[in-house]
Structure 1
Amino acid sequence: MMLQFFPSKRVALYMGRLFLVRTIAVLALLVVVLQTLDLLGESSDVLAYPGNGDAQLWHYVMLRAPQIIARFLPFSVLLGTLITLATLNQNSEIISMKAAGLSAHQILAPLIVVAFGISVFSFVFNERIVARASASLDAWQAVEYGPAPPSSSVKTNIWVRDGNDLVTAAIVAGRSSSTQLRRVEIFNRVNNSLVHIIQAPRGHYDAKGGGWVLQGARDFDVVRGTTRSLGTVRFGHNIRPDQFTLAKVDANGLAIGALGSAIADLKDAGRPTAALEGSLWHKISGPLSALLMPLLGSVAAFGLARSGRLFIRAVIGMSLGFAYFVADNFALAMGNLGAYPPIMAAWAPFLLFLLVGETVLVRTEE
């Protein structure tokens, strides 16, 4: 029995099913509560746009829920682990397994397999759903929950300098010569004083003539306080499309392939990419955090329940799990500041707590 990695098939299926059901139940509870609170805080802004109603509220929920699921899935795995193992320990099932000759690693094996499956699901879910939902929600919020252009490569709230002038676009969609701008504002300055503000609902890049074309532009004279219609105007002959499309790269709104392409474009333009490279690696290490939770929460599985220390063991397991999330966020912050190399910022917490969890398990139970 000790030479087998898994316990019997029946025991493995029983523990795996128990763990999976509890994890899903905890995740569902967290998503319902957190989505309700988030919707209560955001519903007034959604309904503030003329014409928005119940359909827009449900659309907001559909875009926000994937982000909540992705963020709290590892927490759910941790809590599911603690509930499962504490219950098995309370019912003396762990004692029965150890009396049958199973080691601590064999007892945890079904949970680790299920956690690996959850990690795979989390990775696919992030790539196929969360990235697109995040990009769409950012674009929708940029136009204050009004009509947004349907594009998977949108950027929001972009600022670009054109000589002395500042140019801002609420939404930037497309790439290269097909770049489109929405809600454009040009702040014309003379001797560091604001003179004119040109506003236009839309604009696009003119590859043949060079520069950018604004449609339906209006000019506000700051000195006189008057407004006049300009119609179609040209500006920014020295502004390249990549200055808009690469001015703000949101790693959360891009899948791995698109983020890798954006990093390559930024490198070609001589821009720093360390923070984005750390986020790229974290798109792999982040979902794998679910794989650590059975190991970190295993403290709750062992020890006599009647000794009165089961609650203390559960708290220790929860503390180890939350310590990992704190270390993970800290490492990413250090990576964004340039203090850690990108690969170290993404993988160091995972490897550290893998060793910590394994050390605790071996020294206490094996």
Structure 2
Amino acid sequence: MRILDRYLAWAVIGGTLLTLGVLLPLLGVFILADEVDSIGVERYNLFQALLFMLLSLPRYAYLIFPIATLIGALIGLGTLASRSELVAMRAAGMSVSQVVRAAMLGGVLLAVFAVVLGELVAPAAEQRGIELRRQALSGDVAQRTPDGFWAVDKGSYVNIREIRSGTRLSDISIYRIDAAQGTLVATRAEGARYRDGHWILENIARSRVSSAGVEVERIAKAGWDSMLDPGLLKVVVADPNALPVWGLYKYIRFMSVNKQDAGPYEVAFWNKVLHPVLTLSMILIAIPLLLGSSRSTGMGRRIFVGIMVGILYYLVSRTFAYLSLLFGMNPFLAAIAPPLLFISGALLLLRRVG
């Protein structure tokens, strides 16, 4: 049975990889189409648009991975069913539970691959793509590091430790060197708000360093003329779904300490934690769909069924996510409910075909 287990597992893996190989180029075309209008602006050219598209694909691969697994299982196992191999395995004494176990073996390997993709590859690749795109479009020099966001702003060096939103910043340091007078002006503000087209720095400590010594000035509020407008800063505020689990956990703790609403990040956190469960549940759904259909069912029909189930899952999961955000539903329950509903449905179908 171990040979059959490996055979079925590789059928699931091969079908999933084939599905990703078809879907990702299509997504790449859509991403590139969105960038066409930006090509030619400042230093943003076709090569950089292609690079941005390639760096964005790992995240999209992670997002569609469960659906790709469902379609891949329908394709891989469906090919065996159309060649009567599944029937032969059943006739040789292989039970439905053994078919499920073998398919799940492939699912576990795919789930591990998805975790590596979503936690290590996709966040780093997408952040790099966003930075390269922004630098090419704006023409400035800026970088996000573990010490915060750095930018060159009209001759000043700016460090922003926390970007809470496009219009709220905290812990800002601004350094400006006046070569003519031989002075260094270091400004530190606890926070900043964007109002009426201008930044307002709050709780400021300004130090002027010169050959005569250091002068320190404290100001409650002051205007800040900066090219870093909210539209530019929003690109460095990562989409919750693009952050790794550990990054989401740290940000949720930060927002909780500061008594801010971390709802979207909590939902994204639990969705990421439960992502492997979702991948396995999609394979579990595929098996009764195959065993309950005739061998003459075409591949196109199987793919269509997979797409419809995937769309249904997306609608259900979005519904629970909105319930969590609008009505205060527990984020863990909002994330676990859709997979549990689909697993329950798959188990009921398995009982019928078993």
CA distance in 2, matches of 1:127, 1:179: 33
1:355 to 344, 347, 353: 344
SS of residue in 2 equivalent to 1:305: coil
In the TM superposition, 1:1-366 aligns within 5 A as 8-45=1-38, 47-139=39-131, 145-146=137-138, 147=140, 149-152=142-145, 155=163, 158-160=166-168, 176=171, 210=205, 237=221, 250-303=239-292, 305=294, 319-362=308-351, 364-366=352-354
Give the drift of 1:107.
1.2
C-alpha distance in 2 between matches for 1:283 and 1:270: 23
Distance (Å, rounded) in 2 between the aligned partners of 1:141 and 1:306: 49
> 2:165 and 2:42 mapped to 1: Cα distance?
22
**Bigger shift: 245-254 or 13-22?**
245-254
Question: Per-residue displacement from partner, 1:223-280 (whole Å, max 9, x unpaired)?
Answer: xxxxxxxxxxx986499xxxx9999674234322222222112111111223321211
The answer to whether the 8 A contact 1:116-1:288 is kept is no
Name whichever of 294-303 and 97-106 sits farther off: 294-303
Change (3 A) 1:312 1:136: closer
2 CA distance for matches of 1:250 and 1:55?
A: 25
Question: For the Cα contact (< 8 Å) 2:75–2:299, is it kept in 1?
Answer: no
Q: Is the 8 A contact 2:167 2:193 kept in 1?
A: no
Distance (whole Å) between structure 1 residues aligned to residue 120 and residue 304 of structure 2: 35
Identity %: 20
SS in 2 for 1:48: coil
Preserved CA contact (<8 Å) 2:52 2:132: no
> Aligned with 1:51: secondary structure?
coil
Q: Please give the secondary structure, in 2, of the residue aligned with 1:288.
A: helix
Change (3 A) 1:71 1:151: same
Distance 1:300 1:179 in 2: 61
Does structure 2 retain, via aligned residues, the 8 Å contact 1:296–1:317?
A: no
Contact 1:212/1:237, CA 8 A, preserved across alignment: no
Distance 2:207 2:167 in 1: 15
**Which string of whole-angstrom CA distances, capped at 9 and with x for unpartnered residues, describes residues 154-178 of structure 1?**
5596113xxxxxxxxxxx7xx7466
Separation in 2, partners of 1:133, 1:206: 35
Take 1:361 and 1:123, find their aligned partners in 2: how far apart are those partners?
28
Aligned equivalents of 2:127, 2:341: Cα separation in 1: 32
The verdict on how the C-alpha distance between 1:179 and 1:28 changes in structure 2, with shifts beyond 3 A counting, is farther
Residue 245 of structure 2 contacts residue 269 of structure 2 at CA under 8 Å; is this kept in 1?
Answer: yes
- Distance (Å, rounded) in 1 between the aligned partners of 2:286 and 2:41: 46
TM-score (structure 1 length as normaliser): 0.70
> 2:293, 2:57 → 1: CA distance?
40
How many residue pairs align between the two structures?
306
Summarize the Cα distance change of 1:138–1:90 in structure 2 as closer, same or farther, 3 Å threshold. Answer: same
The change in CA–CA distance for 1:143 and 1:325 in structure 2 (over 3 A counts) is: same
TM-score, L = length of structure 2: 0.72
Deviation at 1:39, TM superposition (A): 0.3
Is the 1:77–1:290 contact (alpha carbons within 8 Å) kept by the matching residues of 2?
Answer: yes
Mapped partners of 2:221, 2:207: distance in 1: 7
Relative to structure 1, the CA distance from residue 212 to residue 313 in structure 2 (aligned partners, 3 Å threshold; closer, same or farther) is farther
**Secondary structure at 1:150's aligned position in 2?**
strand
How far has the Cα of 1:338 moved from its partner? 3.4
Query: Structure 1 pair 39/352, CA: closer, same or farther in 2 (3 Å)?
Result: same
Q: In 2, distance between residues paired with 1:18 and 1:141?
A: 39
- Counterpart residue type for residue 118 of structure 2: N
SS of structure 2 residue aligned to 1:151: strand
1:211 Cα deviation after fit: 7.0
CA distance in 2, matches of 1:14, 1:212: 70
- Alpha-carbon distance in 1 for matches of 2:353, 2:253: 48
Greater displacement, 123-132 / 49-58: 49-58
Contact kept in structure 2, 1:139 and 1:148, CA below 8 Å: no
Over aligned residues, Cα RMSD in angstroms? Answer: 3.9
